Amino acid sequence: MLYAFLCYNNEDAVFSWSKEEDEAVMSALSQVHKPLEEAGRFGPAVRLMPTTAATTLRKTSDPPLVLDGPYAETKEQLLGFYVIECDDLEAALDVAKSLAKANPGGAYEVRPLRLFLPGSLAAGAT
Amino acid sequence: MSDLAWIDAALTAARPQAVGALLRYFRDLDLAEEAFQDACLRALRSWPQKGPPRDAAAWLIMVGRNAAIDQVRRRSRQEALPDEDAISDLDDVETPLAERLDGADYRDDVLRLLFICCHPDLPATQQIALALRIVSGLSVKEIARAFLVGEAAMEQRITRAKARIAAAGTPFETPGPVERAERLAAVAAMIYLVFNEGYSAGATEQADKAALPIEAMRLARLLLRIYPAEPEIMGLLALMLLQQSRAAARFDAAGGIILLDDQDRGLWDRRMIAEGLALIDKAIRHRRRGPYQVQAAIAAMHARAPRPEDTDWAHIDDLYAALEQLAPSPVVTLNRAVAVAKVRGPEAALAMIEPLGERLAGYFHYFGLKGSLLMQLGRGAEARGAFGQAIALATTAAQAAHIRQHLDQLEKERAAQK
Q: Left (φ > 0), alpha (ψ -120 to 50) or beta: where does B51 sit?
A: left
**Which chain B residues touch A if contact means CB-CB below 8 Å?**
1, 3, 5-6, 9-10, 12-14, 52, 54-56, 214, 218, 221-222, 224-225, 228-229, 234, 237, 274-275, 278-279, 282, 285
Q: CA of A59: how far to CAs of A54, A56, A63, A66, B104, in Å?
A: 16, 9, 8, 9, 25
Is A30 part of the contact surface with chain B (CB cutoff 8 Å)? no
What CATH number does the domain containing A48 carry? 3.30.70.1060
A119 lies in a domain? Answer: no
A86 lies in a domain? Answer: yes
B349 lies in a domain? Answer: no
**Predicted confidence (pLDDT) per residue in B275-302, tens digit:** 999 999 999 999 999 999 999 999 999 9
Q: Chain-wide mean pLDDT for chain A?
A: 93
A16 to B54: CB separation less than 8 angstroms, yes or no: no
Q: Which residues of B156-191 are buried (b: 16+ CB within 10 A; e: fewer)?
A: ebbeebbeebeeeebeeeebeeeebeebbbbbbebb
Q: Is B333 exposed, middle or buried (0-12, 13-18, 19+ CB in 10 A)?
A: buried
Q: How many DSSP H helices and E strands does chain B contain?
A: 20, 0
Across B77-91, B166-180, B243-257, B364-378, least confident range: B77-91
**Predicted confidence (pLDDT) per residue in B225-250, tens digit:** 989 999 999 999 999 999 999 999 99
A52 to B13: CB separation less than 8 angstroms, yes or no: no
A13 to B229: CB separation less than 8 angstroms, yes or no: no
pTM confidence score: 0.87
* Structure confidence at residue B73 as a pLDDT band (50, 70, 90): confident
Q: Which domain holds residue B42?
A: 1-95
Number of domains in chain A: 1
Residues of chain B with pLDDT > 90: what percent? 55
Across B6-15, B244-253, B343-352, least confident range: B6-15
Q: Is the pLDDT of residue B82 over 70?
A: no
- Phi, psi (rounded to 5 degrees) for B51: 85, 155
Is A64 part of the contact surface with chain B (CB cutoff 8 Å)? no
Nearest to B1 among A24, A52, A53 (CB): A24
B148 lies in a domain? Answer: no
Spatial separation of the C-alpha atoms in residues B283 and B233, rounded to whole Å: 9
Q: Which domain holds residue A67?
A: 2-112
B10 to A51: CB separation less than 8 angstroms, yes or no: no
Q: How many CB pairs under 8 A join A and B?
A: 68
Spatial separation of the C-alpha atoms in residues B346 and B339, rounded to whole Å: 10
A53 to B282: CB separation less than 8 angstroms, yes or no: yes
CA–chain centroid gap for A36, Å, is 16
- Which of B36, B87, B34 has the alpha carbon at shortest distance from B62? B36
Spatial separation of the C-alpha atoms in residues A109 and A113, rounded to whole Å: 12
A12 to B222: CB separation less than 8 angstroms, yes or no: yes
- For CA atoms B180, B11, B214, B266, give the dihedral sign: negative
DSSP summary character for residue A44: E
B1 to A67: CB separation less than 8 angstroms, yes or no: no
Q: Is the pLDDT of residue B87 over 50?
A: no
**What pLDDT is stored for residue B55 in this prediction?**
82
A118 lies in a domain? Answer: no
A123 lies in a domain? Answer: no
B55 to A55: CB separation less than 8 angstroms, yes or no: no
Spatial separation of the C-alpha atoms in residues A63 and B223, rounded to whole Å: 29
Q: CA of B211: how far to CAs of B195, B204, B215, in Å?
A: 9, 14, 6
Nearest to A53 among B55, B275, B285 (CB): B275
Q: Closest approach of chain B CAs to the CA of A12, in angstroms?
A: 5
ipTM: 0.90
- For CA atoms B319, B322, B327, B333, give the dihedral sign: positive
A121 lies in a domain? Answer: no
Q: CA of B155: how far to CAs of A50, B133, B192, B205, in Å?
A: 35, 10, 23, 20
B142 lies in a domain? Answer: no
Number of domains in chain B: 1
A60 lies in a domain? Answer: yes
Which chain A residues touch B14 with a CB distance below 8 Å? Answer: 12
Nearest to A55 among B224, B275, B282 (CB): B282
